Amino acid sequence: RPDAWWGARGTFGGSAGMSGPVGDSPASVIAGPPPQSWEFDVLAAAEAGGCGLREVAWEIFQSTGVTERFGVPDERFKAFLGRMELLYSVENPYHCALHAADVLAATHCLRMGLPDVFDDVEVLALYIGALGHDAGHFRLNNAFLKNSKHTLFRKYPDSVLENFHLGLVFELVEDPEVGIAEHLDPAQLARFKELVTHLILATDMSKHRILVDRFKDWMTRSKEEHAQRRRDAMLHDTIGSNVTGTGTSDGDGDGDA
């Protein structure tokens, strides 16, 4: 991007994608293709003004209806999104609120391209995990935190930053003023937290190869299982057609077993 795009504090527009209050119709301030499209450009939308994490997230969540089904009041969820946005530092040029909005938009597009197999808890966990996966990022990486024996490393010896982000997200989710935890029953909340934990910890790039290999193994097993089911179905159909042709289900029709 041209230098003019970067504000005095080294962030996009000087605000890292911080936006104004979410109105009744936030979609009207998002320029260009909508966030539900692969053509959505979060930087271009932010440059046009009035668009940040809150607007993008609000439109995506509204399109799914998931918060409504959990009974989360609109004003409370808008406040939740505002607090989520504030978890991202305006001093961070990359791991900022716009990055979180961009990841959420891409996550939504990926989900919409898959079969509709996700339940509401899974959708909520997936989208909150996308929004909060870098919450509180302060421009240092795990290697630096480990080598410098940082306080966070002593608290989280593995996946330091990811555990830090996760902790901030859970604090927000359970916040008595703006949190959404009270709108999930105990079983839903436990499952939601488990899913968000897996999702955010999986963003540790040192685990990338392990996760990719695990995904490849799953794909291979799935293809083999699918092929076996097709063979079983073909065999079943063949037997069924033979039985229909003989008019009996007990062999050759002469009474023998």
**Of 166 and 252, more confident:** 166
What are all long-range contacts of 30-35, with beta carbons under 8 Å and residues at least 24 apart?
30/55, 30/56, 30/59, 34/59, 35/59, 35/60, 35/101, 35/104, 35/105, 35/108
Handedness of CA 171, 173, 175, 181 (dihedral sign): negative
Mean pLDDT, range 56-64, rounded to an integer: 95
The catalytic residues are: 95
Residue 61 has pLDDT above 50, yes or no: yes
Arithmetic mean of pLDDT over the chain: 84
Look at residue 20 in the predicted model and tell me its pLDDT: 52
Q: What is the mean pLDDT of residues 49-57?
A: 87
Q: What pLDDT sits at residue 237? A: 79
Of 52-61, 72-81, 206-215, the least confident: 206-215
- Least confident range of 28-37, 105-114, 237-246: 237-246
Kindly state the average pLDDT of the residues 132-149.
96
SS3 category, 70: coil
| Model confidence at 201: pLDDT above 60 | yes
Task: Say what the pLDDT of residue 50 is.
Answer: 67
Question: What share of the chain in percent tops pLDDT 70?
Answer: 82
Reply yes or no on whether the pLDDT at 23 is more than 60. no
Band of residue 80 on the pLDDT scale cut at 50, 70, 90 = very high
User: Closest Cα partner for 196 from 219, 163, 218?
Assistant: 163
Q: Which residues 6+ apart lie within 8 Å of 189 measured at CB?
A: 181
Cβ–Cβ under 8 Å, residues 206 and 169: no
Rounded-to-integer distance, Cα 124 and Cα 130, Å: 10
Please give the C-alpha separations between residue 6 and each of 9, 63, 134, 243, in angstroms, as whole numbers.
8, 31, 20, 75
Residue 255 pLDDT level (bands cut at 50, 70, 90): very low
Name which of 34-38, 73-77, 98-102, 163-167 the model is least confident about: 34-38
Rounded CA separation 79/179 (Å): 9
